[in-house]
Amino acid sequence: MSDSEEAIKRGVIAWPPLIEGTLIQRYKRFLADVRLENGRIVTAHCPNSGSMKACCQPERPVYLSRHDSPRRKLKYTWELIHMPSSLVGVNTQVPNRLIAHAIRTGDVQELSDYRTVRREIKAGEHSRIDILLESPGRRPCYVEVKNCTLVEDGLATFPDAVTVRGQKHLEELQRLVAAGCRCAMFFLIQRMDAARFAPADHIDPDYGIKLRRAAENGVEILAYDVFIDLKGIRLNKALPYDLRFLA
């Protein structure tokens, strides 16, 4: 068994080979200029549509992957940033893959014992939900995954920018619960310095209102952090969440 296969067996998703650099700036949401160790400046794809508040400061160490596909305009992808209290995963494509894998391996106790785990499932005329869990004799369980990178004083919050799309996902989950399904909103904190989770009412109060309403209407809330280093990332532990309005 290869090192990569062994890591996956242990619940770790390994990073591709990482290239260290220093962040110069992030701009136009999906672009980042990075100075490599040899002094060369490259423009990397930033796979994160949020504001990345508290995790995109210039002059911080960052880690890129390189992809030589001729179809790619930008050969580098920004994967990680080293903040003072934790490495932070930037790539928003990682959480869905990580959580689906963790469910399959039984590392999410709240979502255990489902026979099939499918991703990117159509749930409405114009809506997709990240994960669908199914087993004979059990209600189907829809899981929507959100990537959380905003942590201040040990409090992880979501979102880091107004998200109309995120609000619509909450409405869709409530519709599915009303139709007899089980539904969960899963917040993955892609860093290691959070002690609890809450909605970011100071950034998107409407999202906070709708998250609380969804919880009242039967949508389950899960928040987990990760263990992350320069080799890979794995699910770590469930964090407590607080749906009270915080001052």
pLDDT value, residue 188:
98
CA distance 241 to 120: 26
Q: What is the pLDDT of residues 89-127, one digit of tens each?
A: 999 999 999 999 999 999 999 999 899 999 998 877 777
| CB neighbour class for 6 (10 Å; exposed up to 12, middle 13-18, buried from 19) | exposed
Q: What is the pLDDT of residues 193-247, one digit of tens each?
A: 999 999 999 999 999 999 999 999 999 999 999 999 999 999 999 999 999 876 5
List the domains of the chain with CATH numbers: 15-89 (2.40.50.580), 94-238 (3.40.1350.60)
DSSP state at residue 68: -
| CB neighbour class for 2 (10 Å; exposed up to 12, middle 13-18, buried from 19) | exposed
Q: What is the pLDDT of residues 137-190, one digit of tens each?
A: 999 999 999 999 999 999 999 999 999 999 999 999 999 999 999 999 999 999
pLDDT value, residue 109:
94
